[in-house]
Amino acid sequence: MAKHAPVKITALDTYDIRFPTSRQLDGSDAMNPDPDYSAAYAVLRTDDPALAGYGLAFTIGRGNDVQKAALDALRPYVVGLTLDEVTNDLGGFAARMVGDSQLRWLGPEKGVMHMAIGAVINAGWDLAARRAGKPLWRYIAELTPEQLVATIDFRYLSDAITPDEALQMLRAAEPAKSARIEQLLAEGYPAYTTSPGWLGYTDEKMLRLAREAVADGFRTIKLKVGLSVEDDVRRCSLVRQTVGPDVAIAVDANQRWDVHAAIDWLRRLEGFDLAWIEEPTSPDDVLGHAAIRRAVSVPVSTGEHTQNRVIFKQLFQAGAVDLVQIDAARVGGVNENLAILLMAAKFGVRVFPHAGGVGLCELVQHLAMADFVAITGRKDDRAIEFVDHLHEHFDDPVTIRDGHYLAPTAPGFSARMHESTLVEYRFPDGPVWSEQTVAALH
Amino acid sequence: MAKHAPVKITALDTYDIRFPTSRQLDGSDAMNPDPDYSAAYAVLRTDDPALAGYGLAFTIGRGNDVQKAALDALRPYVVGLTLDEVTNDLGGFAARMVGDSQLRWLGPEKGVMHMAIGAVINAGWDLAARRAGKPLWRYIAELTPEQLVATIDFRYLSDAITPDEALQMLRAAEPAKSARIEQLLAEGYPAYTTSPGWLGYTDEKMLRLAREAVADGFRTIKLKVGLSVEDDVRRCSLVRQTVGPDVAIAVDANQRWDVHAAIDWLRRLEGFDLAWIEEPTSPDDVLGHAAIRRAVSVPVSTGEHTQNRVIFKQLFQAGAVDLVQIDAARVGGVNENLAILLMAAKFGVRVFPHAGGVGLCELVQHLAMADFVAITGRKDDRAIEFVDHLHEHFDDPVTIRDGHYLAPTAPGFSARMHESTLVEYRFPDGPVWSEQTVAALH
C-alpha cells in the first residue's frame, strides 16, 4: 500500500431501527393511527475509523425492512470510492445512483428506492461536512454558487428554472452571506410545534400542551384534522380561544380528503384564521391542490410526501400552493432539496420544512438554515416544524430556545444516532422488540 | 380439523428471476441502454396443491432483489386468508395492503412497495380466475357492474369519476357483452410491435424487422428515439419509405427530454405523420405533457411509468395526452387498472397498453380485452404493444396471429412461469447467472 493511499469508503452499513411509538399514540393522525417511528439507517464507513457519514430514511414501522433492503442494494455504488470522489463531487455521487438506468425503473425517482438513494446521498453530504469540520448548513452555505449548482440535477426542471437562473440567484446572495451567518448564530431559526395537536390526544391534553407551547415561545401551533368535522371545529375553536389571536394555527389533514370533500370541510374551518391547511388530499394531486386553493380562503400547503422535484415544479407552476413543506429524507437528498428550495425562491413560495418522526428535525434544520444564508435571506416569515420526540437518540440533537432552532455548530448533518440506540432498538432482535415479543406471549 | 375446513392461503413464495437480455441489446432505448429483463415473481400457494395464484413485478435488473423484499413484506397480509376471503372480496384483499398506514408511508401508492402490492393483488385475481375456470379477461367481463365497482378504490378520484358514474357506464355495456365476447374470440385484439425499433439495432436490422412486421399483419410499428435527432429523422424516414403511408409509425423517447427540448425535437419529426410520441418527458410531469401537446402536432402519450390512478386522473383532466399506455405490473393491480380504464373511457382517451419485458404481454392483454367487453366496446381504434421476447418462459404464452392477440382461453391471468425457468434464471444462484459469473472470472 502506498504511503499516501487515499481514504476510501470501505462499507455501507445498514440498520433497521424502530421505536415503539404506537404505544402512546404519539404521532397519530387521520391517516396514520398507530405509527412506530422508524429509520432505515445508513453509515458510510471509511478506512479512517474517526470518519464516517450518516444518513437515514424515515418510515413509520412495517416496511422498514424493505427500506433497508433498498439501502443494501446501493452498496456497489459507493463502496470503493475515494473520499475525494464523494466529497469533491457530490453531484456525481448522487447522479450515479439516481441516474442508474436499472434502479431508475423502480421509481423513477420516487418511493422506496428514491428514499434509500436520498439517505445515502445525505450520508455523503454528512461525510463531506464532517471532513470539512463544519455543520452541514454552513458547509452548503459556504460553497460557491458554481459548486452548489454543480450538485443539482436540472433534468425535467428547465421549463421552470435553469442552471443560469440558479447561479444568478446564488450570486445575488453572496455579499450578504457572512452577515446572515452571524445573524443566524445569534437569533436561531423560527420553529413551530405540532406536539399539542395529535388526534389521539384529549382536548385537555391538547390545550395544556398548546399553553405550554406558547409559554415556550412558539408563534405557530399545528393541529391534526380530518376524522370528524365537528371535532375539528371544536378543537380549532378551543385552541383559538386558548392561544388568542396572535398565535398562528395551522391544520394538517394528512391526505385524508378527496378534492370536493376537502373544499366542503375547509369551508367549515374558514372562521379560525388558519395559517394553512397541510396535505388536504393526495400528495400526487397537483391539480387537486390548485382546485382546493381556488375554492377556499385557507392557505394551501403540501410537500412532506411530495416524491421529487418534478411534482414540486408543477405545484409551483400551477399555483397550487401558498407554501410548501420540504422533507430531508423523502427526496433524493440534499441535492434535490436544493433544487426545490431554488424553485420555491424563484416562485416566491415560503417553505415550512416538515420534521418530527425520527431525526427529521435534526436533518431538515440544516436545509432551512442553508436556504436563509445562501438563497432567500428569509427566515422570519417561515418556520421549521418541531416535535419533541426521540431527540435523545442522536449525538447532536436539535436545540430549541424560545421557539427557535439554534444553529448547530458540530460538524455534519446531525443524523448520527447513539451506538446504544442501534443496539437497543434494532428490529426485530433488539431488546426493546424482543422483550415486547416476550411480553406479548405472557 | 373440521371436515370441510375452508381452503386457505398457506404461503406467499417469492423469486428473483432475471434474464440476461443486455447481452443482445434487446430492449435498448434512450434511457435504458442495457436492461436485464427481470421479474420479482409471487406465488400465492393454497392448501389445494392444484390451485395457486401467480403475479409479478417487472424490473430491468438491479434492484429486483429490493422488489422481492417488498413482496416478502406482504406475507402477513395474505397468508392465512381463506380462498373466499380473497376471491369473493378482491376489493378488500387489495385495500388491506394498499391502505395499510405503515406500508403506505413508503409511497404512498408508488414505487417499489406499490409495484409489489400490485403483483400480489394480481396473483389474487389470477387465483380467482383459475378457481372460476375462466381466463381473467372473461372473469372480469362477467362480473356484474356492482361486483366490478366494488373492487375499485375511488379515493382521490371523485372529482373525475364517481362510483355511480362507473356503474352507469358498466350497466350501459351489459347488453352487448355476450356478443362482444364472441367477437373477441373470433377476431382477437389488435397488436402493434416494437420489435423493429430498439436503438441498439442497425438500420438494416430495423428495416428487415419492419418489413417482417408488416408481412405479419401489424398495422402499427414503434421506434425508439431520443439519442440523436439526426438519427431519428433518418430512421423515421427510412421506415416510412419502407412501410408506406398506410402503416402507422409511433415513436417512444422513454422520458429522455425536458419540456422545451421535447418540443424542439418533435418539430423535426412532424413530417412523418407519426401516430404518437410516447414518454416525451418525466412520467410525473402532467403539466409538461400538456405543454408539449399544445406545442406540437404529434399526438402525445405516456403511462407505462405512471405511478397510480391519481396521476392518470390529472393527465385526463389537464388534456395532457391524446392516448395513454397502461401497464399491468406497475400500479396497484387489476383494481387500479380498472379505475384507470374507466376514467380513460369517460374522458374519451384511447388506451394502447404497454407490454414487452417479462410477462407484460401475457398480463395486459386480459385488461385490454376486459375493457373491450365490459367497458368501451372499442378495439379497432387501439392496439396492445407486442414484443417477441421471453414468451417461451410462460405456461400460457400469448398467441399472435395476423397482427392480433388471440383471446386466451386457459383459466387465469397467464403470468405463470415454467418451473424450469424459476430454477434456471434465479438470481444470483441459477445456472444462467452462476455460469456467467464463472465465465467472467476466466
Q: Which one of A66, A260, A317 has the shortest CB-CB distance to B70?
A: A66
Residue type at A334 in one-letter notation: V
Cβ–Cβ of B63/A107 closer than 8 Å?
no
Cβ–Cβ of B67/A261 closer than 8 Å?
no
Q: How many CB atoms lie within 10 A of CB B381?
A: 10
pLDDT at site A398: 98
Selected residue of B284, B305, B315, B340 to mutate for chain A interface (largest A Cβ count, 10 A): B284
Q: How open is the CA angle B318-B319-B325, to the nearest 5 degrees? A: 105
Q: Which one of B31, B156, B291 has the shortest CB-CB distance to A101?
A: B31
**Is B113's Cβ below 8 Å from some Cβ in A?**
yes
Reference B342, options B130, B171, B116, B225; nearest CA is B171
Alpha-carbon distance of B134 to A135, in angstroms, equals 63
Cβ(A163)–Cβ(A149) below 8 Å: yes
Cβ(A392)–Cβ(A420) below 8 Å: no
**Is B32's Cβ below 8 Å from some Cβ in A?**
yes
Alpha-carbon distance of A186 to A434, in angstroms, equals 45
- Cell numbers for A104: 431508475
Hunting for cell 434494532 — which residue is that?
A426
Sorted by sequence, the CB contacts under 8 Å of residue B189 that are 6+ apart come out as: B365, B368, B369, B372, B379, B383, B384, B404, B405, B407
Selected residue of B105, B164, B314 to mutate for chain A interface (largest A Cβ count, 10 A): B105
B222 catalytic, yes or no? no
Sorted by sequence, the CB contacts under 8 Å of residue B241 that are 6+ apart come out as: none
Q: How confident is the model at residue B295 (pLDDT cuts 50, 70, 90)?
A: very high
Please give the C-alpha separations between residue A18 and each of A230, A254, A429, in angstroms, as whole numbers.
34, 22, 11
Q: How many CB atoms lie within 10 A of CB B430?
A: 18
pLDDT at site B32: 76
Alpha-carbon distance of B113 to B99, in angstroms, equals 12
Alpha-carbon distance of A263 to A76, in angstroms, equals 48
Alpha-carbon distance of A431 to A429, in angstroms, equals 6
Phi/psi class of residue B237: alpha, beta or left (left: φ > 0; alpha: ψ in -120 to 50)?
alpha
Sorted by sequence, the CB contacts under 8 Å of residue B235 that are 6+ apart come out as: B203, B206, B223, B225
Q: How many helices (H) and strands (E) does chain B have?
A: 19, 13
**Is A258's Cβ below 8 Å from some Cβ in B?**
yes
Domains and CATH numbers, chain A: 169-420 (3.20.20.120)
Q: Which one of A63, A116, A258 has the shortest CB-CB distance to B158?
A: A258
Among candidate residues B110, B134, B224, B366, the one labeled active-site is B224
Cβ–Cβ of B66/A305 closer than 8 Å?
no
Cβ(A351)–Cβ(A382) below 8 Å: yes
Cβ(B302)–Cβ(B316) below 8 Å: no
Q: Where would I find the H helices in B174-279? A: 177-187, 203-215, 229-243, 259-268
Alpha-carbon distance of A143 to A334, in angstroms, equals 13
Cβ(A225)–Cβ(A261) below 8 Å: no
B354 catalytic, yes or no? yes
Alpha-carbon distance of B287 to B320, in angstroms, equals 7
Per residue in B168-226, pLDDT (tens digit) is 999 999 999 999 999 999 999 999 999 888 888 899 999 999 999 999 999 999 999 99
Selected residue of B64, B66, B224 to mutate for chain A interface (largest A Cβ count, 10 A): B66
**Residues facing A193 on adjacent strands:** A221, A386
Report the 3 state secondary structure along A374-425: HHHCCCCCCCEEECCCCHHHECCCCCEECCEECCCCCCECCCCECHHHHHHC
Q: Which one of A34, A69, A102 has the shortest CB-CB distance to B62?
A: A102
Cβ–Cβ of B285/A114 closer than 8 Å?
no
- Cell numbers for A262: 376537502
Q: How many helices (H) and strands (E) does chain A have?
A: 19, 13
Per residue in B310-368, pLDDT (tens digit) is 999 999 999 999 999 999 999 999 999 999 999 999 999 999 999 999 999 999 999 99
Q: How many CB atoms lie within 10 A of CB A345?
A: 21
Per-residue pLDDT 10s for chain A (442 aa) are 455 789 999 999 999 999 998 887 666 777 777 899 999 999 999 999 999 999 999 999 999 999 999 999 999 999 999 999 999 999 999 999 999 999 999 999 999 999 999 999 999 999 999 999 999 999 999 999 999 999 999 999 999 999 999 999 999 999 999 999 999 999 999 999 998 888 888 999 999 999 999 999 999 999 999 999 999 999 999 999 999 999 999 999 999 999 999 999 999 999 999 999 999 999 999 999 999 999 999 999 999 999 999 999 999 999 999 999 999 999 999 999 999 999 999 999 999 999 999 999 999 999 999 999 999 999 999 999 999 999 999 999 999 999 999 999 999 999 999 999 999 999 999 999 987 655 555 4
Among candidate residues A313, A354, A366, A389, the one labeled active-site is A354
ipTM over 0.90: yes
- Cell numbers for B232: 431519428
Please give the C-alpha separations between residue B97 and each of A63, A180, B92, B120, B219, in angstroms, as whole numbers.
12, 48, 9, 9, 40
Q: How confident is the model at residue B438 (pLDDT cuts 50, 70, 90)?
A: low
pLDDT at site A375: 98
What residue of B is the nearest CA neighbor of A72? B66
Please give the C-alpha separations between residue A196 and each of A387, A402, B315, in angstroms, as whole numbers.
9, 17, 39
Report the 3 state secondary structure along A203-231: HHHHHHHHHHHHHCCCCEEEEECCCCHHH
Q: What is the DSSP string of B358-412?
A: TTHHHHHHHHHHHIIIIII---TT--EEE--SSGGGBSS---EETTEEPPP-SSB
A52-69 b/e (C-beta count within 10 Å ≥ 16 → b): bbbbbbbbbbbbbbbbbb
Per DSSP, the three-state class of B264 is: helix
Q: How confident is the model at residue B5 (pLDDT cuts 50, 70, 90)?
A: confident
Reference A112, options B352, B96, B70; nearest CA is B70
Residues of A in contact with B106 (CB under 8 A): 59, 63, 66-67, 111-112, 115
Per residue in B130-148, pLDDT (tens digit) is 999 999 999 999 999 999 9
A181-217 b/e (C-beta count within 10 Å ≥ 16 → b): bebbeeebbbbbbbbbbbbebeeeebbebbeebbebe
Per residue in B38-57, pLDDT (tens digit) is 999 999 999 999 999 999 99
Sorted by sequence, the CB contacts under 8 Å of residue A185 that are 6+ apart come out as: A407, A409
Cβ–Cβ of B159/A35 closer than 8 Å?
no
Residues 157-196, chain B: which have Cβ within 8 Å of A? 157-159
pLDDT at site A187: 98
What residue ranges in B74-213 does DSSP mark as E strands?
189-197
Per DSSP, the three-state class of B14 is: strand
pLDDT at site A407: 98
Sorted by sequence, the CB contacts under 8 Å of residue A150 that are 6+ apart come out as: A91
Q: What percent of chain B has pLDDT over 90?
A: 91
Of B15-29, B329-343, B423-437, the range with the lowest mean pLDDT is: B15-29
> DSSP state, B319?
T
Q: Which one of B65, B107, B288 has the shortest CB-CB distance to A111?
A: B107
